[in-house]
Structure 1
Amino acid sequence: MRGTLHGATVHLARPGRPALVIDALDELCGPERGVVELPLRLWWQPERRFNLGQHTMLLWMYENVLREAVSRDELRCFLHAATLVRVWRELNLPRGVRQAWEARHPQLRRVG
């Protein structure tokens, strides 16, 4: 999903909400392993812990953070650059989120 803001293309995470993208992938220094607890703002369920050793939980957490983050600090805190690149093609993301990240980081389009 796309819109425009002052003549620039804006990719939307959902209607009315621009997708947030980090400037450089190497800024993503979140955990690579272990159990991560997302704040209630990012995950509204009672159980907010994700075991990154379980592949489906890792994907689920990354999808949520990429969709719901409202600050670059949230992206930096919860996402890890090499992990994001490794799982990129497996993530179930809104089209606008995927397009925004691939537009800023073309190397993600080439992951495969």
Structure 2
Amino acid sequence: MVQQSPLDAPIAAADVLHERYAGRLPDALEDLGGPERGAVELPLHIVWSGLRTYDLDRPRQCMGLYRTVLAEGQRDDIVRFLNRDLLLAQWPMMRIMISRHVREAWESAFPELEHGASAAG
């Protein structure tokens, strides 16, 4: 019988996704220095089709931008386009609209998100 080494063990897709999103996280929520108001145009490497310019003063567009950047943005994009206060304010609703892998990566790194969501819901 051949023994399997830990390096030969299959990697679960959920683990790969969690690591992908966890690797993009800022060091602290305070690093999120994105705009609080106005129009924001996302680059093509984040949004390659459809709406690229979002009005942060329109709640649905603001939520759309945040969902898109959380799912598709790299660390520099997240810090550049997301704002700490807007993220905290939107998180209770947004957390049910994003993938489980994104949500778990963010809430495990930043427990204040999960606690804020519990308090709001």
| Alignment TM-score, normalising by the size of structure 2 | 0.77
**What is the aligned partner in structure 1 of residue 18 from structure 2?**
11
Distance in structure 2 (CA, Å) of the matches to 1:46 and 1:83 = 23
Work out which of the residue numbers 100, 103, 111 in structure 1 matches 2:105.
100
After TM superposition, list the pairs within 5 Å mapping 1:9-88 onto structure 2.
11=18, 18-19=20-21, 20-70=24-74, 72-88=75-91
User: Cα offset for 1:66?
Assistant: 0.2
User: Cα offset for 1:45?
Assistant: 2.3
| Alignment TM-score, normalising by the size of structure 1 | 0.83
DSSP 3-state at the match of 1:2: helix
More moved, 61-70 vs 40-49? 40-49
Would you tell me which structure has more strand in proportion to its own residues? Answer: 1
Deviations 1:25-75 (A, max 9, x none): 0000000000000001111225411000100000000000000012x2111
Would you tell me which structure has more helix in proportion to its own residues? Answer: 2
Task: Give the paired residue count.
Answer: 101
Equivalent position amino acid for 2:15 in 1: G
Q: Percent identity?
A: 36
Alpha carbons of structure 1 residues 46 and 3: separation in structure 2 relative to 1, 3 Å: closer
Name the larger-Rg structure. Answer: 2
Unaligned runs of 5+ in 2: 1-12
Which of structure 1's runs of 4+ aligned residues deviate more than 2 A? none
User: Cα offset for 1:107?
Assistant: 0.4
Distance in structure 1 (CA, Å) of the matches to 2:106 and 2:18 = 9
Distance in structure 1 (CA, Å) of the matches to 2:49 and 2:37 = 21
Distance in structure 2 (CA, Å) of the matches to 1:109 and 1:55 = 21
